[in-house]
Each structure stands twice: as structure tokens, then as C-alpha cells.
């Protein structure tokens, strides 16, 4: 079966990006790890905060809640 022009173009694009795949995956893994660690650090630091001195703001009878 003969390959169509679109199939040949797709194969050429796949071949052109092949050398960059490993580096792109490594950069993606590093970025994912960085974002995950910042998220985990933020959640852990907020859990340790003591919010007992903060008074909750509750809507009064005449106000609508947002």
C-alpha cells in the first residue's frame, strides 16, 4: 500500500523530532518535579500555620454571601 502525502509528512515530522524527545522528557520531568515540590512545600507550610487568632468573617443577616 502506498503512503499518502499526509502520512509521509507525519513520518517526516516524527523523524525530525526524534533527537529532541529524550531531552524534552528530561526537561518535563524536572519542571514537573519542581512544581510538585513547590506545591508540597506550600501545603505543608500552610498546615503548620496557626490561624486561631483570625476571626472568621461571616455575612450578617442582611448581606448576601458571595
- Interval 31-49: pLDDT, tens: 999 999 999 999 998 887 7
Report the C-alpha gap between 20 and 11 in whole angstroms. Answer: 15
Q: Find the domain containing 31 and state its range.
A: 7-38
Could you give the CA distance from residue 18 to residue 10 in angstroms, rounded to a whole number?
Answer: 12
Q: What is the pLDDT of residue 66?
A: 57
Residue 59 lies in a domain: no
26 falls within a domain: yes
**Are 36 and 42 within 8 A, CB to CB?**
no
With respect to residue 28, please indicate whether it lies within any of the assigned structural domains.
Answer: yes
Query: pTM of the predicted model, to two decimals?
Result: 0.56
Residue 44 covered by a domain: no
| Structural domain count of the chain | 1
Amino acid at each position: 500500500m502506498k503512503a499518502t502525502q499526509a502520512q509521509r509528512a507525519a513520518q517526516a515530522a516524527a523523524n525530525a523530532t526524534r533527537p529532541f524527545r529524550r531531552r524534552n522528557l528530561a526537561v518535563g520531568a524536572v519542571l514537573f518535579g519542581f512544581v510538585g515540590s513547590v506545591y508540597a512545600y506550600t501545603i505543608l507550610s500552610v498546615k503548620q500555620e496557626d490561624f486561631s487568632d483570625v476571626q472568621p468573617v461571616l455575612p450578617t443577616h442582611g448581606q448576601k454571601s458571595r
